[in-house]
Amino acid sequence: MVKIHETIKMATPNKNSQFTITKKIAKHGAQAVIVIPSILKEKVNAGMLVKVTIDILENNNLDEVR
pLDDT at 51 over 70: yes
Residue with more model confidence, 30 or 65: 30
Region at 64 (left for phi over 0; alpha for psi -120 to 50; beta for the rest): alpha
Judged against a pLDDT cut of 50, whether residue 8 lies above it is answered with no
CB of 19 closer than 8 Å to CB of 43 = yes
Structure confidence at residue 15 as a pLDDT band (50, 70, 90): low
Strands (E), 1-66: 3-8, 17-22, 26-28, 31-33
24 closest CA partner among 50, 63, 59: 59
Q: Which amino acid is at 22?
A: T
